Chains A and B, each alone.
Chain A
Amino acid sequence: MKGEIYRVAGPVVTIMGIKPKMYDVVHVGNEGLMGEVIKIEGDKATVQVYEDTSGVKPGEPVVNTGMSLSVELGPGLLESIYDGIQRPLKVLQEQMGDFIQRGVTADGLDRERVWDFKAVASVGDVVEGGDVIGVVQETMNVEHKIMVPPTVSGTIKDVRSGDFKVDDTVCTLEDGTELSMVQKWPVRLPRPVTKKLMPTKPLITGQRILDGLFPVAKGGTAAIPGPFGSGKTVTQQQLAKWSDTDIVVYIGCGERGNEMADVLNEFPELQDPKTGRPLMERTVLIANTSNMPVAAREASVYTGITIAEYYRDMGYDVSLMADSTSRWAEAMREISSRLEEMPGEEGYPAYLSARLSEFYERAGCVHSLSGEEGSITVIGAVSPPGGDFSEPVTQNTLRIVKVFWALDAKLAQRRHFPSINWLTSYSLYTEGLSGWFGENVSPEWVSLRNNAMDMLQQESELQEIVQLVGSDALPENQQLILEICRMLREYFLQQNAFHPVDTYCSFDKQYKLLKSISTYGDKAMIALESGIPMSEILALESKDDLAKVKFEEDFDGVLNEVLAKMDKEFAKLGGN
């Protein structure tokens, strides 16, 4: 069916002459720019267009594809970088050079690449949605399972191993249905699962303040709100680099081009701590930067989460980072205002909160249709205007997510990184994961952690007094608490993402560091009680030496030396 353009106003185009369904993908104008129907009113429909509309005129043709916005799922997703509507940026560059021109379509998956398909199902098998019919080694460590699409079932008439391209038929069912290695799925529709499960394992990130104080569970949700320059992107990238997941989907949603270039540059060089393979081999990047069309930015988070669901369905642990969900919300706001919808709070559409919760609901641990256990952990950055957390996007997000990593401009200004505020952040998984920590880290871990949190809480109260009277006016045992908290902050909480050693800290190291600080604290308290002057306790060299242990390649060796020295120094002071 053909229609024509009635009106063009930026990314929003009104069409007439055809009767599309809501969310149909249409091609508008002489150049066939891609767009999606977002409103239908009488004989007209409104389309958000994923490309620049300059020069497009009323009267130009419109073609309806009749399909919803979908992504292609199959081998070749890993190591790719896509725009918000799954066009591979590498292909766009080959076709139109260094600047993105419009009207170019490109398949999400390479049609020419040949994959070695190994059938695991046999002729005569009765299969249904989610069943694995074969596998492909997608990258060195990721085995890509070729699953029957969720809506298909039947008896296998023919299935064969061999070298195939993604859209070659690898399996035929009795009813004639042909299955290839690629399936399409509409991005706005969650992929079905058998059952949702409670998250029970932590996502190990190698970041001390996250793992130690505010852990997120695999299959959980977390938000990182913070003003500009406070460390959202660095934290998200650290998570993408070091988390112990199988697959990472990283969405640069309305942010900087150079940051994406950085990831592209760095990830092939860095090693996955679990497998030793280049990080890029487990990563899918979606880059719809701030200067790329807003409608495609709106779509980018859906494209990303659908890809994440697909790998989850294979039984993988997937983590998805969205930087920044605020830019996504702003894209919704911009489109909504062009539609002249009734604005809600701060001009955001009234459905903002519904969209946010639908998105985070797609996280979780599941029994997939294929019977595997998989998970998606979603970590969203939030960019509140003026750093004010009372704004709608932050508030609506906090109502949904279970972990809140509050970034703090004051900490960032004094270069305390990660500048996550330990007093206002929280994790609702701490309780549920404590069993895991007890078994896998140390039986002592939970109490060490709780002690540290208590001390830091006390510190903030003591600081208020210090502000009024100076620290010398405090009793000595309280001065000691302040010192231990300084050690907690500087030796444990601070972690330099750009230091080759400190960038990742195993649980073993985290435990030993925290334990050592606590050991110093206990010994110092005993010494103080037995009458040894504070100044002598503070002057111990081993205390200062502890500061730099986290940077050492030979962590255990150096730590043991420092601890031995500490024993000696305390023994010399007497009291212990």
Chain B
Amino acid sequence: MTKEYKTITEIAGPLIFLEKTEPVGYGELVHINLPDGTTKRGQVLDSSADVVAVQVFEGTGGLNEESGVVFSGETIKLPVSKDMLGRILSGSGEPLDGGPSIIPEDRVDVNGASMNPYSRMPPEDFIQTGISTIDGTNTLVRGQKLPIFSGSGLPHNEIALQIARQAKVPGSDEDFAVVFAAMGITNEEAQYFMQDFEKTGALERAVVFLNLADDPAVERIVTPRMALTAAEYLAYEHDMHVLVILTDITNYCEALRQMGAAREEVPGRRGYPGYMYTDLASLYERAGVIKGLKGSVTQFSILTMPGDDITHPIPDLSGYITEGQIVVSRELHRKGIYPPINVLPSLSRLMNSGIGDGKTRDDHKAVSDQMYAGYAEGRDLRGLVAIVGKEALSERDQRILEFADLFEDRFVRQGRDENRTIEDTLSVSWEILSELPESLLTRIDNKYIDKYHPAHKSN
């Protein structure tokens, strides 16, 4: 097991190739001893009787044919323990906070195994984030994977932190934790997160994995897997409700692309590997609730869309896997609206199972549909007004145009520390909907109009 091979024949980018080894397992963890005494780690990508290919996490800088390679005989494992809470670890799981190393309760394969669909419990517990554009129109539920699609320079970090601070299931005080994994973000951004965690005391309930912009890109491939392994452990072994924040998925995908190029693979769309869908699914699908278990894993990841383009392969493939997306808009941000969430391209697919009578309120779905319809039409009309002028609009259209403004100003806009309950969100909704003529409220059943419309409500 501890045999050291000095048979490297080729070094190419993050890969090394070596010959004449004992049989080596696919996916095995590898230690590489450099001539200068340092060690690096890697993973077997291709293993045949003649040649073995290894991808080196810390990059191949400083490696040469003199370097010794030791195969560990096992796949990559993360030592896990409840004591991970409050700790800051590197992107490959080593303590960064000067604390002792984790005394493992278990060592778990970071690739995880796929959850049996038969064991899944359909997510349905409403999480109140206190943000109206999420709770009201794109509701998050426990066990969901709902990323933020943002752009560079937009306040996605603020939104993620606000959610991490405020998120709760109304009326419950169950054990929760946050697992935060930074992938290729700048030191400054990382500081921003850490300070907020410390200030609010959230760090005690958090496990942090940091792979920063100047850390090796290859390591980024393992970082989210470590984080999700920790999250699953806390959720399924310790009954905790875990919120996982992975940031930034885009950097992760760049690392994948870099690896693919180094392996001289036939690239897929825009140079990203053809298996990127499957690879991303192996991360995103590690969210959910298991029948009969108390804990859950909810993912709220951040993804910056290159060039604000939602059809770029990274957001596109993500959108095909996640259960919706929250889209941050540059236009709203420029208008000075926080949080600048554009509800139109945003979606929560699990919303229907998390809302309604007994969960949020009976009128929730209808109210949300009506606001979407009104806002969508209002925004179209803005385009028209720019061409023909407001006067050319019918009375009806003018009211809808005004509704769109109200929607942005009263429903979307809120304070960075403003934590709205779902009742607050729904009353703001009715306030602005009541500015529209009732005949336009075609998506709302009359019984809800009678019950909640400010003009009808009896009390």
The B-contacting residues of A in range 69-96, CB under 8 angstroms, are: 81, 89-90, 92-93
One digit per residue, 1 when the CB lies within 8 angstroms of any chain A CB and 0 when it does not, for chain B 98-129 equals: 00000000000101111111111111000000
For window 43-60 of A, CB contacts with B under 8 Å fall at 52-60
How far is A9 from B313 in the complex, measured between Cα atoms in Å? 25
Say yes or no: A258-B123 contact (C-beta < 8 A), given A53-B26, A59-B49, A467-B387: yes
Cβ-neighbour of A229 out of B144, B265, B319 (below 8 A) = B319
Does B219 sit within 8 A of A, measured CB to CB? no
Which residues, 250 to 296 on A, are CB-close (under 8 Å) to B?
252, 254, 256-258, 260-262, 264-265, 287, 289-292, 294
Cβ-closest chain A residue relative to B342: A413
Give the interface residue-count category, chain A.
35 or more
**A343 on interface, CB distance cutoff 8 Å:** yes
**CB of A531 within 8 A of chain B?**
no
A383 at the interface (CB under 8 A from B): yes
List the B residue with the shortest CB-CB distance to A91: B118
Give the residue of B46, B275, B319 whose beta carbon is less than 8 angstroms from that of A228: B319
Closest to B45 in A: A9
Q: Hey, which chain A residues are within 8 Å of B152, CB to CB?
A: none
Cβ of B324 under 8 Å from chain A:
yes
Q: Is the CB of A8 within 8 A of B117?
A: no
Contact B372 A229 (CB under 8 A): no
Contact of A415 among B113, B121, B350, B373 (CB under 8 A): B373
Chain B interface residue count, CB cutoff 8 Å, equals 82
Query: Can you list, as one digit per residue, whether each of A141-185 has a CB less than 8 Å from chain B (1) or not (0)?
Result: 000000000000000000000000000000000000000000000
**Proximity bits, B218-245, A CB within 8 Å = 1, else 0:** 0000000000000000001000000000
Q: Are B75 and A54 in contact (CB under 8 A)?
A: yes
Q: In the bound complex, how far is the Cα of B113 from the Cα of A59, in angstroms? A: 25
Residue A544, interface by CB 8 Å = yes
With known contacts A57-B25, A547-B442, A347–B268 Cβ distance under 8 A: yes
Does A98 contact B23, Cβ atoms closer than 8 Å?
A: no
Known contacts A229-B324, A256-B285, A289-B117; decide if A98 and B290 are in contact (CB<8 Å): yes
Q: Is A1 on the interface with B (CB-CB < 8 A)? A: no
**Residues in chain B near residue A471, CB distance under 8 A:** 394, 397
Give A286 Cβ to nearest chain B Cβ, in Å.
10
| B116 proximity list for chain A (CB < 8 A) | 89, 92-93, 97-100
Evaluate contact between B117 and A548: CB separation under 8 angstroms.
no
The answer to whether A290 touches B278 (Cβ under 8 A) is yes
Query: Max chain B CB contacts within 10 Å: which of A227, A291, A387, A415?
Result: A291
Docked-complex contact A14 and B25, CB < 8 angstroms: no
B120 touches A260 (CB 8 A): yes
B18-38 vs A, CB cutoff 8 Å, 1 = contact: the mask equals: 000001111110000000000
Shortest distance from the beta carbon of A462 to any chain B beta carbon, whole Å? 14
> A2: which B residues are within 8 A, CB to CB?
none
For B121, list chain A residues within 8 Å (CB).
261
Query: CB distance A10 to B117 under 8 Å?
Result: no
Contact A414-B311, Cβ < 8 Å, known A9-B45, A81-B117: no
B372 touches A415 (CB 8 A): yes
In the bound complex, CA of A203 to CA of B116 (Å): 33
Q: Chain B contacts of A386 at CB under 8 A?
A: 311-313, 316
* B365: min CB distance to chain A, Å: 7
A55 pairs with B26, CB closer than 8 A: yes
Give the distance in Å from the alpha carbon of A60 to the alpha carbon of B24 in the complex: 11
Tell me whether B117 and A347 are in contact (CB under 8 A). no
Any B CB within 8 A of the CB of A536: no
Nearest residue, chain B, Cβ from A473: B392
Could you tell me the dominant secondary structure of chain A's interface residues? mixed
Instruction: Give min CB distance, A85 to chain B, whole Å.
Output: 14
| Complex Cα spacing A57 to B23, Å | 6
**Do the beta carbons of B47 and A291 come within 8 Å of each other?**
no
In the assembled complex, the Cα of A332 lies from the Cα of B280 at a distance in Å of 18
Q: What distance in Å separates the Cβ of A17 from its nearest Cβ neighbour in chain B?
A: 11
In contact, B23 and A54 (Cβ under 8 angstroms): no
Q: What A residues does B265 contact at CB under 8 A?
A: 337
CB distance from A574 to the nearest CB of B (A): 23
With A229-B324, A347-B266 in contact, is A257–B394 under 8 Å at CB? Answer: no
Interface string of B351-369 (1 = CB under 8 A from A): 0110000000000010001
Please tell me if the beta carbons of A551 and B266 are within 8 angstroms of each other in the complex.
Answer: no
How close is A115's CB to chain B, nearest CB, in angstroms? 23
**A414 touching B350 in the complex, CB below 8 Å, given contacts A99-B114, A256-B285, A551-B445:** no
B347 at the interface (CB under 8 A from A): yes
Provide the residues of chain B in CB contact with A125, threshold 8 Å: none
> Any chain A CB within 8 A of the CB of B439?
yes
Is A131 positioned at the interface, with any CB of B under 8 Å from its CB?
no
Interface residue ranges of B23-63 to A (CB < 8 Å): 23-28, 45-49
Q: Is A351 in the interface zone, CB < 8 Å from B?
A: no
Does A330 lie within 8 Å of B274, measured CB to CB?
Answer: yes
* CB nearest neighbor in B for A544: B439
- CB 8 Å contact bits of A173-212 with B (1 = contact, 0 = none): 0000000000000000000000000000000000000000
CB within 8 Å for A333 and B274 given contacts A59-B23, A98-B116, A229-B319: yes
Asked whether B388 is an interface residue with its Cβ less than 8 Å from the other chain, the reply is yes
Partner of B446 from the list A347, A387, A548 (CB cut-off 8 Å) is A548
Q: Do A415 and B112 have beta carbons less than 8 Å apart?
A: no
Chain B residues whose CB sits within 8 angstroms of the CB of A389 once the complex forms:
none
Q: Which residue of A lies closest to B324 (CB)?
A: A229
Question: Which residues of the partner chain B approach A254 to less than 8 Å between Cβ atoms?
Answer: 277-278, 281
The 8 A CB mask of B314-334 against A (1 = contact, 0 = none) is 001101110111000000000
Bound: A98/B376 CA distance, A: 42
Residue B424 interfacial (CB < 8 Å): no
A334 proximal to B (CB < 8 A): yes
The residue of chain B having its C-beta at the shortest distance from the C-beta of A417 within the complex is B369
CA–CA, A238 and B445, complex, Å: 23
Per-residue 0/1 for B268-288: is the Cβ within 8 Å of any A Cβ (1 yes, 0 no)? 110000110110011001101
Q: Are B278 and A330 in contact (CB under 8 A)?
A: yes
B393 CB-CB contact with A under 8 Å:
yes
Cβ contact within 8 Å between B114 and A289 = yes
Which residues of the other chain, B, contact A473 by a CB distance below 8 angstroms?
A: 392
Please tell me if the beta carbons of B387 and A490 are within 8 angstroms of each other in the complex: no
Query: Contacts of A388 on B, CB cut-off 8 Å?
Result: 311
Docked-complex contact A291 and B286, CB < 8 angstroms? yes
A59 CB to closest chain B CB, in angstroms? Answer: 4
Q: Is B384 in contact with chain A by the CB < 8 A criterion? A: yes
Given A98-B290, A229-B349, A290-B281: A93 touches B266 (CB 8 Å cut-off): no
Q: A229-B319, A257-B115 are in contact. Are A387 and B24 (CB under 8 A)?
A: no
B109, B266, B286, B313: the one within 8 Å of A337 (CB): B266
A sample of 20 more A-B contacts (CB under 8 A), given A57-B47, A469-B388, is A9-B47, A54-B27, A54-B109, A54-B111, A55-B25, A59-B49, A97-B119, A101-B113, A256-B321, A261-B117, A289-B117, A290-B278, A290-B281, A291-B282, A294-B278, A334-B275, A385-B311, A468-B387, A498-B365, A548-B445
Show 7 A/B contacts (Cβ-Cβ < 8 Å), sorted by A. Answer: A9-B26, A9-B45, A59-B49, A92-B118, A258-B144, A291-B278, A388-B311
Closest 10 interchain pairs by CB?
Answer: A470-B392, A7-B48, A290-B281, A386-B311, A414-B376, A261-B120, A54-B27, A228-B319, A99-B113, A89-B118
